[in-house]
Amino acid sequence: MPHAHLELNRPTGDEVKTTTCYMCACRCGIRVHLKNGRVRYIDGNPEHPVNRGVICAKGSSGMMQHYSPARLSKPLLRVGERGAREFREIEWDEALALATKWLGDIRARNPDELAFFTGRDQSQALTGWWAQQFGTINYAAHGGFCSVNMAAAGMYTFGGSFWEFGEPDWDRTKYLMLWGVAEDHDSNPIKLGLGKMKSRGAKIVAINPVRTGYASIADEWVPVNPGTDGLLAGALIHELLRNDRVDFDYLVRYTNAHHLVIRDPGAADDGLIARGADGKPLCVVRQSSSRPGNGRDPDPGTENLKALDSGLRRNDGQQSRAHRVVDAALPDIAPLIAGEYTLPDGRKAVPAFQLIAERFLADEYAPENVSERCGVDAETIRRLAAELAHAAFEEAIELPIAWTDTHGRKHDTMLGRPVSMHAMRGIAAHANGFHTCRTIHVLQILLGAIDTPGSFRYQPPYPKPAPPGNKPAKSRKPDGTLTGNPLGYPQSPADLLVDEEGQPRRLDHAFSWEFPLAAHGLLQSVIRNAVEGIPAKIDTLFLFMANMGWNSAMDTATTRKLLCARDDAGNYKIPHIIYVDAYDSETVAFTDLVLPDTTYLERYDCISLLDRPISDAEMAADAIRQPVVQPDRDVRPFQDVLLDLGARLKLPNMVDGNGAPAYKNYADYMVRHERAPGVGMLAGWRGADGSQQGKGAPNPDQLQRYIEHGCFFETKIPEAGAYYRMANRDYLQWAQSMGFVGSTEPVTMQLYCEVLQRFRLAAQGHGAVQPPESERARVTRYFDPVPFWYDGIQLPPPLAGEATRSAERAALGGRDSREDGPLPAFGHLPPRAGEEGKSLGARASAQDFPLSAITQRPMFMYHAWGSQNRWLRQIAARNVLYVHPRTLAAHALESGDWAWIASPRGRIRVEVCAHAATAPGTVWTWNAIGKKRGAWKLAERAPEFVDGFLLNHLIGERASNRTYANGDPVTGQAAWFDLKVRLEHDPEPRVPGHRFEPADD
Ligand code: SF4
């Protein structure tokens, strides 16, 4: 049929309302077609800046999400045992009175006894503020088990991030590297961008163990082994340095490459940036090279290039008399970026770039030496590096856009390096993810490829200072509120939340010596730590949209038992669990009080610039959701409930002087709440008459203006502020006027991360705040200010062997985490010949589990929510295990066989499927399709129960030494993708049926 005759957008109802999609994290604009008050059809809003009318399978299936049989319909009070799904329906008044009683007692006693954690929440600007008013430090959203490595590494390196805080310059980039990108995050913008690139013939390279989704349309697929991306990125840097393919001019203008790092081994200042009396970083210039007013030396420090290593611009050390030390931020200087120098006070110092070069020019990053570990041959690595450099330097672009830098210097053009990168959870979800992300950012920076034409671009409100200035709140005011938001970016050991012995204060151990830079908390550790009472018992666990009873937990079987754990008196160890969700998920079964949320089509929401923005590189944008239909059940929007609870608790700023609620509901809060004078939740149509943007007084008609405008607001960045925003005065002045930054100071990118060195120095015995002895070696190792690669993959704890248990006791300060009874048994791996009678701990080794196992997000489903959607279930209602054909053959398996996938935590019977677009050493499956029988109102024999499976069972929540959470030692990011497994035969490979057997050595 000719396309011209298709009527794709013919109205199907009697009314169309705009709002914002919530079927994934992307937040596209949608139009909801209604007939007689019911949803008939959803399509994309052509005017919306995120998706320009594009809609995906998930988004258009939102109707079935709204009418899902799994929707909760009434507040529920548990009447049976936890896990038994026995509830009594109650009225809201009773539910809120009960919650108020529990929470009120806590606040009077100790606010930290409330653990308030949210999952895929898009209202963290509200929930974080609420936690602050309540006064609990135990708050976070789900970033700790999603991609905090990505966020933290970016923020500490260049004041931005991949994820939703930046994007490739889709119109100009000539070479894009996608590193471990999940297919559902930032979905439609990436699809639109990739489409632009394909139409221009630009090259796309996908680095991923699995070729699905975006990778399937890439020009080149590099099947890297899981967890080795940092090694590969390091080898690319090695090649760039070795061949002198670095943008030195960019480095000395916008990074700390030339900042002098003190070399004073053993001293308290070793590794810190040398600063002048005014506190400003210092650098070295030649006596003759500071020529204020004459323009800067176009070729900094090159004349001694050949003095030592090729490719390293190193000074020969004999010229100190010809050098002088100056303020590194001075304009029009030509700082040296290699060599060792003597400071006026006699201390030695080297430019930060020297340390980067020393690290990555080392043999361990040579392509030949990383090739086998990465699974990428050396020739390919060299070619990729050459292609990156060619695109950056031989295909450089220059735009005729005049701009002014932060020194006030005028520039007529903008030089661009059209190489861009994007990375996501495949990089982040490893125990080495923070440093891997940093390494990728260093690679970008060396190419001059951050916020230049054709490269990766910031999205407003970024860039921010690197790191941003907000630190996690540590104390309470007299009125019981925290002094600030519970989350933030520590800059030194003094910012940690630890007690006098250096032990964690937070329930999830974030911002402790275990995970100092845990900017998003560690939701994945909360349940275990609450049961074990480390650091302290809590009273109430308050969860929102976090399916911790199933696919949001590691070691799911153990987690489910922990939720039911009782003390000697028979009381639950977590006395109260409140859960808010719209759907009858697995977690509902473990809840004492269920507060049913609305669907996303039934409420107001705020996609705020204070939270996770929807801006793109050209404009700042925010959005709302409006209720397009009224609830037909006894449910309430979570945000309304939260504000109601705050008012009932008489929390500061949630009641007025008479004790009456300060806000009628969330919509009222969105309009009237001010975070700072003139700065509120929404940036559009501010001021009493709606004429202001960014900052301005609350406007009572603001929501109406949003609705009239398709439920979004956008404002374009001035053209002169299009690029170089880390040092672009035109942009920074605009950003300041919008309330995004406090000053117009430039953002200096941190090739060398001094913040990390401050923690390392503390671990080496310097400063007032130092780690306990048990943490010193770990902090010293992982808080390296220069990124590095290490093998973060560990086997999970194998079993309850006495020796291991003693070690655990010691680590817990004499407390035994199992003193109240055994946790689920560990280890169910058949002994090999000659190993009968040996414990699993003695038997298991890395060789026993040679395959990496990961999950991928399907484009058609977003977490557990989407996989219960009737339309989306028609695409897939069960998952299989994908294995490379050679790997299958090596195990004498065929597609369609049922076999076992095993880790030290247990084994799962799964159907295997040959998949040539999988790295041979990796197996994988779709995430969160397998479900627990009884949940989501699915039929008793639903494929999700019978055939589908959940890989999480095999992932240990603890690292192999049992002491720490299974995560990155810098940020605590959950190491989902470090799982190692093996395949085992089943005696009846053609008999279908999924089964999980926990290890029970
Ligand atoms: S990409 Fe995400 S937000 Fe956009 S339409 Fe699809 S599901 Fe909705």
Residue-wise pLDDT for 929-977, tens only, equals: 999 999 999 999 999 999 999 999 999 988 766 679 999 999 999 999 9
Q: What is the DSSP string of 843-871?
A: H--GGG--EEEEEE--TT--HHHHTT-HH
Q: Which amino acid is at 71?
A: R
The arithmetic mean of pLDDT across residues 230-259, rounded, is: 97
- Residue of higher predicted confidence among 288 and 38: 38
415-448 residue pLDDT tens: 999 999 999 889 999 999 999 999 999 999 999 9
In this structure, which residue's CA is closest to atom 5 in ligand 1? Answer: 59
Inform me whether the pLDDT recorded for 747 exceeds 60.
yes
CA of 93 relative to ligand 1 center, distance in Å: 35
Atom of ligand 1 nearest to the CA of 58: 7
Strands 906-914 and 881-883: parallel
Tell me which residue has tokens 């109260």: 576
Contact 795, 980 (CB under 8 A): yes
Q: Which residue has the tokens 């009472």?
A: 533
Ligand 1 pocket mutation, candidates 52, 122, 187, criterion most atoms within 8 A of CB: 187
| pLDDT, mean of residues 192-208 | 96
Facing residues of 856 across strands? Answer: 926
Ligand 1 geometric centre to CA of 610 (Å): 21
pLDDT of residue 288: 66
The whole-number pLDDT of residue 146 equals 85
**In the predicted structure, residue 895 carries a pLDDT above the cut 60:** yes
Pocket test for ligand 1, best of 56, 164, 860 (most atoms within 8 A of CB): 56
Nearest to 476 by CA among 135, 158, 210, 222: 135
Paired sense of beta strands 29-35 and 456-458, if any: unpaired
Contacts of 556 by beta carbon, 8 Å cutoff, 6+ apart: 549, 550, 950, 952, 953
| Close Cβ partners of 377 (under 8 Å, ≥ 6 residues apart) | 371
Q: List all residues 6 or more positions away from 356 whose beta carbon is below 8 Å from its beta carbon.
A: 237, 257, 442, 446, 751, 752, 786
Confidence at 2, pLDDT banded by 50, 70, 90: low
Model confidence band, residue 184 (pLDDT cutoffs 50, 70, 90):
low
Q: Give the closest residue to 905 by CA, choosing from 969, 832, 982.
A: 982
Question: What is the pLDDT, as a whole number, of residue 314?
Answer: 39
Tell how far the Cα of 535 is from the centroid of ligand 1, in angstroms.
40
Q: What angle do CA 798, 804, 805 make, to 5 degrees?
A: 105
Q: Tally the residues of the chain.
A: 1001
| The two structure tokens encoding residue 694 | 């960014």
Determine the distance separating the centroid of ligand 1 and the alpha carbon of 103, expressed in angstroms. Answer: 36
How far away, in angstroms, is 961 Cα from ligand 1 center?
Answer: 40
What string of H, E and C letters represents the secondary structure of 102-143?
Answer: HHHHHHHHCHHHEEEEECCCCCHHHHHHHHHHHCCCCEECHH
**Centre of ligand 1 from the C-alpha of residue 122, in Å:** 14
Which atom of ligand 1 approaches the CA of 187 most closely? 1
Any idea what DSSP says for residue 394? I
Q: What is the DSSP letter of 213?
A: G
Average the pLDDT over each of 34-43, 51-60, 318-327, 811-820 and give the range with the smallest value.
811-820
Q: What is the helix, strand, coil percentage profile of the chain, to 5?
A: 30, 20, 50
Q: What is the DSSP string of 152-174?
A: HHHHHHHS--STTSEEE-TTT-S
- State the distance from the centre of ligand 1 to the C-alpha of 45, rounded, in angstroms: 11
Give me the pLDDT at residue 945, please: 94
Please tell me which residue, 1001 or 686, carries the higher pLDDT value. 686
Decide: residue 336, CB within 10 A, 0-12 exposed, 13-18 middle, 19+ buried.
Answer: buried
Q: What is the pLDDT of residue 181?
A: 85
- Report the range of poorest mean pLDDT among 199-203, 370-374, 565-569, 963-967: 963-967
Shortest-distance Cα residue to atom 4 of ligand 1: 28
**Phi then psi for 475, rounded to 5 degrees?**
-140, 170
3-class DSSP assignment, residue 639 = helix
Whether residue 16 has pLDDT greater than 70: yes
- The CA 980 to ligand 1 mean position distance, Å, reads 32
For ligand 1, mutation pick of 20, 26, 45, 600 (most atoms within 8 Å of CB): 26
| Contact residues of ligand 1, CB 6 A cut-off | 21, 23-24, 26-28, 51, 55-56, 58-59, 187-188
CA pair distance 333, 339, nearest whole angstrom: 17
Over residues 93-111, the mean pLDDT reads 98
What is the average per-residue pLDDT within 93-120? Answer: 97
Report cis status (omega within 30 of 0) of the bond before 486.
no
Are the CB atoms for 388 and 220 separated by under 8 Å?
A: no
**Strands laid side by side in the 220-222 sheet:** 220-222, 203-207, 175-179, 419-423
pLDDT > 80? residue 9: no
Q: Give the position, in ligand 1's atom list, of the atom nearest the Cα of 24.
A: 2
- Tell me how far the alpha carbon of residue 187 lies from the centroid of ligand 1, in angstroms: 7
* Average pLDDT for 165-188: 90
Distance 221 CA to ligand 1 centre (A): 26
Which of 192-206, 596-610, 986-1000 has the lowest average pLDDT?
986-1000
Read off the pLDDT of each residue in 318-328 and give the average, rounded to a whole number. 75
Q: Above 60 in pLDDT, residue 475? A: yes
Instruction: Supply the mean pLDDT for the chain.
Output: 90
Name the residue among 510, 517, 513 with its Cα closest to residue 502: 513
**Which is more confident, 311 or 221?**
221
The separation between the first and the last C-alpha atoms of the chain, rounded to the nearest angstrom, is 63
pLDDT band for 1000, please (50, 70, 90 cuts). low
Taking the C-alpha atoms of residue 975 and residue 754, their distance in angstroms, rounded to an integer, is: 25
| 51, 185, 214, best to mutate for ligand 1 pocket (most atoms within 8 Å of CB) | 51
HEC-encoded secondary structure of 777-843 = HHHHHHCCCCCCCCCCCCCCCCCCCHHHHHHHHHHCCCCCCCCCCCCCCCCCCCCCCCCCCCCHHHH
**What percentage of the chain reaches a pLDDT higher than 70?**
90
- Helix ranges (H only) for 462-532 are 526-532
Q: Among 2-11, 465-474, 764-773, which is the least confidently predicted range?
A: 2-11
| Ligand 1 midpoint to CA 22 (Å) | 7
Q: Which of 170-184, 214-228, 737-751, 817-831 has the lowest mean pLDDT?
A: 817-831
- How far is 471 from 475, CA to CA, in rounded Å? 12
Residue nearest to atom 2 of ligand 1 (CA): 24
* Residue 687 Ramachandran class (φ > 0 left, ψ -120 to 50 alpha, else beta): left
Average pLDDT of the segment spanning 701-728: 98
Q: Are 822 and 19 in contact (CB under 8 A)?
A: no
Question: Distance between CA atoms of 7 and 529, rounded to whole angstroms?
Answer: 56
> Is pLDDT of 606 > 80?
yes
The backbone torsions φ and ψ at residue 446, rounded to the nearest 5 degrees and listed phi first, read -60, -30
Identify how many contiguous H helices and E strands the chain contains and give both numbers.
27, 37
139 contacts 486 by C-beta, under 8 angstroms: yes
d(CA 971, CA 860): 30
* Sequence-ordered list of residues with C-beta below 8 angstroms from that of 957, at least 6 positions apart, any chain: 524, 525, 528, 553, 554, 555, 558, 559, 965, 966
* pLDDT tens, position by position, 810-829: 433 333 333 323 333 333 44
Name the more confident of 803 and 719: 719
At 321, is the pLDDT very low, low, confident or very high (cuts 50, 70, 90)?
A: low
Average of per-residue pLDDT across 197-226: 96
Ligand 1 pocket test: pick from 28, 30, 186, 616 the residue with the most ligand atoms within 8 Å of its Cβ: 28
- In eight-state DSSP terms, residue 199 is H
Answer yes or no: is pLDDT of 988 > 60: yes
Dist. CA 125–CA 94, nearest whole Å: 28
Sign of the alpha-carbon dihedral angle for 237, 240, 241, 247: negative
Distance 544 CA to ligand 1 centre (A): 21
Angle at 636 (CA atoms; ends 631, 641), nearest 5 degrees: 165
The answer for 130, left when phi > 0, alpha when psi is -120 to 50, beta otherwise, is alpha
- pLDDT recorded at residue 211: 95
The identity of residue 342, as a single letter, is T
- Dump pLDDT digits (tens) for 551-584: 999 999 999 999 999 999 999 999 999 999 999 9
Residue with tokens 């909760």: 72
Q: Is the pLDDT of residue 693 over 70?
A: yes
Of the pLDDT bands very low, low, confident and very high (cuts 50, 70, 90), residue 807 is very low
Q: What's the rounded Cα separation, in Å, for the pair 705 and 712?
A: 9
- Please choose from 19, 55, 181, 863 the residue to mutate so as to test ligand 1's pocket, defined by most ligand atoms within 8 A of CB: 55
The atom number, within ligand 1, closest to the CA of 27 reads 3
Looking at the CA of residue 30, tell me the nearest atom of ligand 1: 5
Expressed in angstroms and rounded, the spacing between residue 979 Cα and the centre of ligand 1 is 29
Q: Is 616's pLDDT higher than 70?
A: yes
The neighbour count for residue 275, using CB atoms within 10 Å, is 16
> Per-residue pLDDT tens for 619-650?
999 999 999 999 999 999 999 999 999 999 99
Residues 387-411 have a mean pLDDT of 97
Residues 6+ apart with CB under 8 A from 448: 247, 249, 250, 251, 392, 415, 417, 455
Taking the CB of residue 483, how many other CB atoms lie within 10 A of it?
Answer: 12
Whether the predicted model's global pTM rises above the 0.85 cut = yes
Q: Is the pLDDT of residue 153 over 50?
A: yes
Evaluate if residue 677 carries a pLDDT over 60: yes
CA-to-CA distance for 234 and 360, rounded, in angstroms? 6
Q: Is the pLDDT of residue 226 over 60?
A: yes
Could you tell me the two tokens for 952? Answer: 């999480």
Helix intervals (H) in 390-432: 425-428
Asked if the model's pLDDT at residue 799 lies above 70, the reply is no
Evaluate if residue 310 carries a pLDDT over 50: no
